[in-house]
Chain A
């Protein structure tokens, strides 16, 4: 008889007592009771480790090892903010318990993988793969496979590498096919039978995608040509339209040493801030007209342009060889107001949920630096070997993250 059945039979009337029991067991195991709302993880690229951090006292709580190749890893969180799902480059998908600080389950689900998402209801994990190109769906509790979506297109049905995978309201997932130049919308209300809508011909080499924080617009950045592809998820029947297709015209694009990430293009104030591929600038875009309002000249080619949660600042880091610098844009004045040097090879920035701190990783100096976003003063400095992505649990409650 399965253990949970046993439990049910013996204490049918006191589920609360059972919970209490389990809870006190847990407390004994971990020493003290705590919540998870101020927790997060820092990816260690070199040794495949996670460092669990907390943002109240700004300390590292411990390390979790054995997660495989985490160069380009990303993380989503369970809706209770207890479990982190880690997507590794080597196709690894790990479920990590932040409280017990251990790997709950780990599978290798593909040969080469790029990112993932969690469904609106928290029941399904989706992973986007380069090899074999496509998306796979897993049960969030058990990591058992639920469905496979091979990204086949064109004559011969060659599989395309998949990028820019996000969750959308209505238990949907949206992603882009790098090789085929398509956007796909997968309805996963019945996760075993996802229903796919394809949008072909959106432009050459979509390299990443994002969804606006309200979950309405999916935007794919194009590497192979100027402009962006926009899908209105309130009106998918209207199809994908091209926006800002003029933005590089007449100017020689510079070679790109690191693909920009679109995840952080949050809306700030009345605008969207979008890294211009191959240019030393961010585009400031009016999201009603989808027109460029202005562009702000920067220190180098932007990789992430992240809005502080209140929308007053946008923090930008840069591609090689300008990656020792972070610039801060004041959204009210639309100009750079501060330049910081957190260390060599700044890879990622993450704001605390209300934006009073920002955590910055400097890979080649093996450290994470925490800044006060009001004074720009340094609040803390934590040694982490080859840190890359920083992910705080508050992402659990944001659409598209």
Chain B
């Protein structure tokens, strides 16, 4: 009885750990990435005033550093801090999507 329950609960527990982003919020974050980040990084994320944020450009980069860059910005450059407007798990979700190349301009 007990092991069966565990197996049944396992996917739920895993999902909770990865903190799935509600779909509405995903759509809003995608829009923010393309439009508002895109204002500097290009709507195709291939760069502009800020560097390219394509999967290839971010390949092998430490996700934690990228997370901190987005949350705190980079003083002395034009990269502003997004911590005041985005939750930490939202920023982590963005980093993950960026590094996977999961978000594309239509």
Interface residues of A (CB under 8 A from B): 45-47, 69, 71-72, 89-90, 112, 114, 130-131, 161, 178, 205, 207, 223, 255-259, 320-321, 345, 363-364, 386
Q: Are A256 and B43 in contact (CB under 8 A)?
A: no
Q: How far is the CB of A73 from chain B (nearest CB, A)?
A: 10
Contacts of B80 in A (CB 8 A): 255-257
Q: Are B78 and A112 in contact (CB under 8 A)?
A: no
Contacts of A386 in B (CB 8 A): 35
Q: How far is the CB of A191 from chain B (nearest CB, A)?
A: 27
Q: Are A89 and B78 in contact (CB under 8 A)?
A: no
Q: How far is the CB of A347 from chain B (nearest CB, A)?
A: 9
Q: B46 interface residue, CB < 8 Å from A?
A: yes
Contacts of A69 in B (CB 8 A): 42-44, 105
Contacts of A256 in B (CB 8 A): 78, 80
Within 8 A of A (CB), among B14-68: 31, 35-36, 38-40, 42-44, 46-49
Asked if A112 meets B106 with Cβ closer than 8 Å, knowing A257-B80, A259-B40, the reply is no
Among candidates B31, B39, B47, residue contacting A112 with C-beta atoms closer than 8 Å: B47
Given contact pairs A46-B106, A89-B44, A207-B49, enumerate 20 new A-B contacts (beta carbons under 8 Å). Answer: A45-B35, A45-B43, A69-B43, A72-B42, A72-B43, A89-B43, A112-B48, A178-B49, A255-B80, A257-B36, A258-B39, A259-B40, A259-B49, A259-B78, A320-B36, A320-B85, A321-B85, A345-B35, A364-B31, A386-B35
Asked if A72 meets B36 with Cβ closer than 8 Å, knowing A47-B106, A255-B73, the reply is no
CA distance A71 to B43 in the complex (A): 6
Q: How far is the CB of A257 from chain B (nearest CB, A)?
A: 5
Contacts of A345 in B (CB 8 A): 35
Within 8 A of A (CB), among B80-102: 80-81, 85
What are 7 inter-chain pairs, A to B, with CB distance below 8 A? A69-B43, A71-B43, A72-B43, A112-B48, A258-B36, A259-B40, A386-B35
What size tier do the contact residues of chain B reach?
Answer: 20 to 34
Q: Per DSSP, are chain A's interface residues mostly helix, strand or loop, or mixed? A: loop
Asked if A90 meets B44 with Cβ closer than 8 Å, knowing A46-B106, A71-B38, A178-B49, the reply is yes
CA distance A131 to B51 in the complex (A): 11
Among candidates A46, A47, A72, A223, residue contacting B39 with C-beta atoms closer than 8 Å: A72
CA distance A255 to B74 in the complex (A): 10
CA distance A12 to B78 in the complex (A): 61
CA distance A131 to B106 in the complex (A): 22
Best-buried of A47, A89, A114 by chain B (most CB within 10 Å): A89
Q: Are A114 and B39 in contact (CB under 8 A)?
A: no
Contacts of A223 in B (CB 8 A): 78
Q: Are B48 and A89 in contact (CB under 8 A)?
A: yes
Contacts of B46 in A (CB 8 A): 112
CA distance A363 to B42 in the complex (A): 16
Contacts of A259 in B (CB 8 A): 39-40, 49, 78
Contacts of A45 in B (CB 8 A): 35, 43
Contacts of B43 in A (CB 8 A): 45, 69, 71-72, 89
Q: Are A114 and B31 in contact (CB under 8 A)?
A: no
CA distance A28 to B31 in the complex (A): 43
Best-buried of B38, B80, B106 by chain A (most CB within 10 Å): B80
CA distance A277 to B81 in the complex (A): 16
CA distance A71 to B36 in the complex (A): 11
Best-buried of B42, B46, B48 by chain A (most CB within 10 Å): B48
CA distance A72 to B47 in the complex (A): 12
Contacts of B35 in A (CB 8 A): 45, 71, 345, 363-364, 386
CA distance A320 to B85 in the complex (A): 10
Q: How far is the CB of A133 from chain B (nearest CB, A)?
A: 12
Q: How far is the CB of B27 from chain A (nearest CB, A)?
A: 12
CA distance A321 to B78 in the complex (A): 16
CA distance A130 to B40 in the complex (A): 12
